[in-house]
Structure 1
């Protein structure tokens, strides 16, 4: 492959005088200054509110990213704890070392920059400066890449703008810092091209080759320190470049191909070594059974680009949106509300701008035989992958399978759950094609140069998406008060949720209160056993105090559990309940509960958003709680009892300290005798035959338990039956095996 086939690097003197002050000024400082001004303009009025507000088009991911910045600093400087493990979320089941954040969009590079900035600036100012720096770096990196490919600085400036201010990036500016921070893609591609040329001109073992090989590995590492989606995108572009080498090797020869592939292999090997401390635990986390690493198919489709997205501007594009939104009338099912409410629309990320598309077409046609082939192929493949597993046109499922269905079957890449992320690669390669279009027009007649200037100006105007939606980062005064308390404890936030995106306000509040909480919004949903255990859900899901089989009074078991797990406060979010009546029911439930145990002053705070109850404090003591696999408690003359649902159930054993404990209980079998076995982990600790229709007491002594939570698994070895099986007139279709009553955990 000749240099002219992918770039004309010496045209217009782009590479001449590499060390001269003139080149430093015009090829580096002035472009950086230009993109700095553009960053302020295209994010207006952010510069006026750096310390007060942040971009907030969609607060779900914004809150998560703000929380990332806070947690990284708080874990290192206050807790002196590994930030990749968080013991303050999904409490109490992940206390030590905490929930692993290896698969979370943690962006360690951004967090490290934020750590430094937060020593001098507020969290809001830090967040905003990281975004502005990303815009400037993205523009500058794309400028260098496009200038190298085209040999034309003006084309480089336009290509840099096409990348930095692309509608895709503008749309996610108020959403996700991890997706917005794609500035290292062009730097990586630039190093790959330099490395290719160094191998061609000086050989594989030359100093120039080594320099650019290290540079490529360095920028690939920076991409990995932002987001794995970026790594997958740039590796896709690398593989395509390696395949392009096969085509050009027809003229360059096999030795040239071998040298180029060797350089790519050495670069990849260096990157694997450098990033192994990040790659290895991430791969291990991918197999963590407590994380839901894949999205349901319907969500994977919703995170795919609809074909209509490519041609219809999002609402934040001031000029095109009024003109293109009528197109949606032809697609009545197209994401209802999406084109009128950005908060209901996580899609519409396929639009790249009409000017960019037009210049890219000119660049493709104009340089078809020389330079545009690779960039066109990379763009088309990236867009095809962004369309997701099945082609959708205006949300109409065409059932046409797309290339993503093959890619998602590959190891590691299978964790990529949002196909629309491939637009990050498409935006970068389209910027190069747009730059090629400008360069081609400028080499034509004077009319061509005027046309290039006119289209460049049109791009400047087209990309305006201002004013940017901003919002302050605020919370309840109660959480600020908790944050001033240096003591470490937990808060129980209600209503219970499925966590994931629904918990994003709770992430934001933790920035202020610094206390452990039962849920949290991470990029990978964590399976929460605590919130949906039988007893806990009765108390905090149904807001009831049914008879309990683990204490004399339900309130005793509840307060003991709260203290054992260091829950100091219960928080009721008024906005979280489905209606006012539901909130009033929950509020009355806890008011009555604490009044009944002599703690009538527990309702300690109320404002427009929440009510807070202080939990009466008592010394921790052993407690057994019914966890999963139990039917509702029933009442007999002898007291309450609970059936195992089918043949498996779990008891949560809470202990204040390690030691030997005794579990006592009464049990009865339905209709016929059954064997009941108890397991701690994989170890069977007890087995007895439970008599039918007669209650018998048992003791399991010598249970070696760890401090905190221990799970005791119960397994009925002889199956289960339904009452309807023995009485055709019965409507009771439950599957019953063994019932338990009077469950107590004590320490001799």
Structure 2
């Protein structure tokens, strides 16, 4: 090539266009003269050898793991008894238990008959994180799924932040890269996702995809190997979260479009090799994902239409400057204002704060000639605009003003993505910009100033203490009684009946090593029209169980409902199990009548064994 390497200034961000390339790399000859003093033109410092780089990387990993343990300390003081995320924690614990169970018992890990019996569930339409289930299988088999969930919840910010550190380390020194990793791994997005959304909090792959795309589009060394690695990373991300993969693809397309506008000739010259690499990537990913995707789109219990309600989980225009309950510092009036925004409170994750926004604006202007800043600044803006959703929301009110996401949500996959979650990429781009700015500071006095300013800008993002919960598990499910009472492959009605607002029965089933299948679930299943629902359609039995458990009905009223007995008999149950529940006496009365006689109390549950024909 005879043109300037797009990434030469990116990789040599500390030294501008005329900087010496990274040792060991061959970005190609350059035809741009070195700039004089100014942003992006400082001479590069010598890069440390690999032997010197890894101790710093390990130190950052240890530090991030320490921060994560501190953040989730309540769960570590009661390991296996306390977790974060309520019903979502139960859901992911079930998934983490199911994958190794299915694989060790010759079952398809992507579908199950153990939930929503007898119809089953197509897990690929939910958030089954099968890759994490496989990787963490030794922990699950040793300590149980709830411990596995807590370990992965703790590792998620640490490993995600560390991956960001390793990515940014390509262009900066260790300390600036660590700051980028800290913002990415412990910023508002990931803290919010830590409340039970393991598929969203475990995000080390977006920074890895960034590195591989840099290798493919910019460095272009060993295109075949890069294409293979990119395909493996794409498949791995899909097996953790298809949504994150889809939004990463959107952001990658935006980044490529920005590069095309900025470096048209260079991009054109590199397009052929990049396309070959992407073709290899597509082939590898398609081969790796053939089984799960075939199950998802052609297997049983598949769903159609949108899974999430549209235009709800979006970033309010005020989100970026309004602290939420997730932040340790913030005036009460501002936190109350954040609670008026549409969507779940933990999905309001776009907060940056005025100091950080001001710093990012300053960096965008001051280092506008730096190639990486010139890419990340507009990328952050586009990601922020996309996170606003299909219509502009201000102060919790939908103004009806259309926004770009309205077009994107018409396409496949993206209509099931929640726009507010694109705040992940705002933080990713912001972290890179701050790292480049910190890395540019050469004189000690200037470096001290930049570090001080960065601290002031990042302090408002310090997370508040996370709220934990402790699901109670009767000894019946973890001891020998369950295997003595129920043969493998049984079907048991477990009460409280599992549905989105109360799904602890799923945890009990997983802790009993899937000894029995259960009616009901909290996961994505089709309704009678094939549209998605988070629980089975209402029937006389589940409606009665939920109404009595919540106090909305008495047992006598429920027993008068038509079709109740017929629905109960249709499930062909082997047992009924009543665990700890509100309105227990009424539930005992209801279940005794349905089971045809009294049950017996065994290790914290009431058990009815039913005669099957």
TM-score by length of 1: 0.67
Task: Structure 2: give runs of 5+ residues left out of the alignment.
Answer: 26-45, 548-556
Do the aligned partners of residues 466 and 614 (structure 1) sit closer, same or farther apart at CA in structure 2, a change above 3 Å counting?
Answer: same
For 1:69, the equivalent position in structure 2 comes to 96
Q: CA deviation at 1:591?
A: 3.7
For 2:554, the equivalent position in structure 1 comes to none
Structure 1 residues 665-705: Cα deviation after superposition (integer angstroms, max 9, x where no partner): xxxxxxxxxxxxxxxxxxxxxxxxxxxxxxxxxxxxxxxxx
Q: CA deviation at 1:511?
A: 1.9
Q: CA deviation at 1:592?
A: 4.8
Matched, 1:236 2:250: yes
Structure 1 residues 83-104: Cα deviation after superposition (integer angstroms, max 9, x where no partner): 1111111112x2xxx4211121
Pairing 1:140-289 to 2, within 5 Å after superposition: 140-149=162-171, 151-199=172-220, 208-252=222-266, 254-284=268-298
Q: Distance in 1 between matches of 2:169 and 2:421?
A: 26
For 1:455, the equivalent position in structure 2 comes to 453
Q: CA deviation at 1:347?
A: 3.1
Q: 1:327 is matched with which residue: 303, 321, 334? A: 334
Q: CA deviation at 1:406?
A: 0.7
For 1:694, the equivalent position in structure 2 comes to none
Structure 1 residues 525-562: Cα deviation after superposition (integer angstroms, max 9, x where no partner): 666998645688689976225788xxxxx97x677546
**Do the aligned partners of 2:177 and 2:435 also contact (CA within 8 Å) in 1?**
yes
**Do the aligned partners of 1:366 and 1:437 also contact (CA within 8 Å) in 2?**
no
Q: Tell which deviates more after alignment, 527-536 or 427-436.
A: 527-536
Q: 1:139 is matched with which residue: 147, 158, 161? A: 161
Structure 1 residues 114-136: Cα deviation after superposition (integer angstroms, max 9, x where no partner): 11333444434433332343333
SS at match of 2:170: helix
Matched, 1:348 2:354: no
Q: Distance in 2 between matches of 1:251 and 1:54?
A: 59
**Do the aligned partners of 2:578 and 2:605 also contact (CA within 8 Å) in 1?**
yes
Q: 1:604 is matched with which residue: 596, 600, 611? A: 600
Q: Distance in 1 between matches of 2:506 and 2:96?
A: 11
Do the aligned partners of residues 17 and 128 (structure 1) sit closer, same or farther apart at CA in structure 2, a change above 3 Å counting?
Answer: farther
Q: Distance in 2 between matches of 1:364 and 1:76?
A: 50
Q: Distance in 2 between matches of 1:510 and 1:373?
A: 52
Q: Distance in 1 between matches of 2:313 and 2:573?
A: 39
Matched, 1:360 2:376: no
Q: Distance in 2 between matches of 1:140 and 1:449?
A: 23
Q: CA deviation at 1:302?
A: 3.1
Structure 1 residues 351-395: Cα deviation after superposition (integer angstroms, max 9, x where no partner): 145665444333322221332232122222222222222211121
Q: Distance in 2 between matches of 1:37 and 1:262?
A: 39
Structure 1 residues 438-494: Cα deviation after superposition (integer angstroms, max 9, x where no partner): 234x14x55431122213444675554354434445312343355444613222245
Q: CA deviation at 1:179?
A: 0.6
SS at match of 1:316: coil
Matched, 1:571 2:590: no
Q: Distance in 1 between matches of 2:122 and 2:23?
A: 49
Q: CA deviation at 1:142?
A: 1.4
Q: Distance in 2 between matches of 1:110 and 1:268?
A: 22
Give the aligned length: 565
**Do the aligned partners of 2:389 and 2:420 also contact (CA within 8 Å) in 1?**
yes
Q: Distance in 2 between matches of 1:114 and 1:507?
A: 19
Q: Distance in 1 between matches of 2:88 and 2:541?
A: 32
**Do the aligned partners of 1:189 and 1:216 also contact (CA within 8 Å) in 2?**
no
Q: Distance in 1 between matches of 2:570 and 2:75?
A: 45
Q: Distance in 2 between matches of 1:13 and 1:133?
A: 37
Do the aligned partners of residues 221 and 468 (structure 1) sit closer, same or farther apart at CA in structure 2, a change above 3 Å counting?
Answer: same
**Do the aligned partners of 2:315 and 2:389 also contact (CA within 8 Å) in 1?**
yes
For 2:317, the equivalent position in structure 1 comes to 307
**Do the aligned partners of 1:493 and 1:570 also contact (CA within 8 Å) in 2?**
yes
Structure 1 residues 612-661: Cα deviation after superposition (integer angstroms, max 9, x where no partner): 35144142xxxxxxxxxxxxxxxxxxxxxxxxxxxxxxxxxxxxxxxxxx
For 2:31, the equivalent position in structure 1 comes to none
Q: Distance in 1 between matches of 2:260 and 2:132?
A: 37
**Do the aligned partners of 2:164 and 2:180 also contact (CA within 8 Å) in 1?**
yes
Q: Distance in 1 between matches of 2:188 and 2:256?
A: 30
Structure 1 residues 542-593: Cα deviation after superposition (integer angstroms, max 9, x where no partner): 6225788xxxxx97x677546xx13311537633xxxx5xx65554344456
Q: Distance in 2 between matches of 1:160 and 1:289?
A: 40
The structure carrying a bigger strand percent of its residues is: 1
**Do the aligned partners of 1:14 and 1:153 also contact (CA within 8 Å) in 2?**
no
Q: CA deviation at 1:434?
A: 1.9
For 1:383, the equivalent position in structure 2 comes to 384
Do the aligned partners of residues 592 and 49 (structure 1) sit closer, same or farther apart at CA in structure 2, a change above 3 Å counting?
Answer: closer
For 1:104, the equivalent position in structure 2 comes to 126
Matched, 1:294 2:306: yes
Q: Tell which deviates more after alignment, 431-440 or 480-489.
A: 480-489
Do the aligned partners of residues 353 and 122 (structure 1) sit closer, same or farther apart at CA in structure 2, a change above 3 Å counting?
Answer: farther
**Do the aligned partners of 1:42 and 1:466 also contact (CA within 8 Å) in 2?**
no
Do the aligned partners of residues 269 and 366 (structure 1) sit closer, same or farther apart at CA in structure 2, a change above 3 Å counting?
Answer: farther
Q: CA deviation at 1:518?
A: 0.9
For 2:33, the equivalent position in structure 1 comes to none
**Do the aligned partners of 1:17 and 1:23 also contact (CA within 8 Å) in 2?**
no
Q: CA deviation at 1:191?
A: 1.4
Q: CA deviation at 1:189?
A: 0.5
Please give the root-mean-square deviation of Cα atoms over the aligned residues, in Å. 3.7
**Do the aligned partners of 2:496 and 2:545 also contact (CA within 8 Å) in 1?**
no
SS at match of 1:193: helix
For 2:478, the equivalent position in structure 1 comes to 480
Higher Cα Rg, which structure: 1
**Do the aligned partners of 2:85 and 2:468 also contact (CA within 8 Å) in 1?**
no
Do the aligned partners of residues 55 and 446 (structure 1) sit closer, same or farther apart at CA in structure 2, a change above 3 Å counting?
Answer: farther
Do the aligned partners of residues 23 and 477 (structure 1) sit closer, same or farther apart at CA in structure 2, a change above 3 Å counting?
Answer: same
**Do the aligned partners of 1:307 and 1:394 also contact (CA within 8 Å) in 2?**
yes
TM-score by length of 2: 0.80
Q: CA deviation at 1:57?
A: 4.3
Q: CA deviation at 1:228?
A: 0.6
Q: Select the structure with the greater relative contact order (CA < 8 A; seq sep ≥ 6).
A: 2
Q: Distance in 2 between matches of 1:535 and 1:118?
A: 33
Pairing 1:605-620 to 2, within 5 Å after superposition: 605=601, 612-619=606-613
The structure carrying a bigger helix percent of its residues is: 2
**Do the aligned partners of 1:44 and 1:468 also contact (CA within 8 Å) in 2?**
no
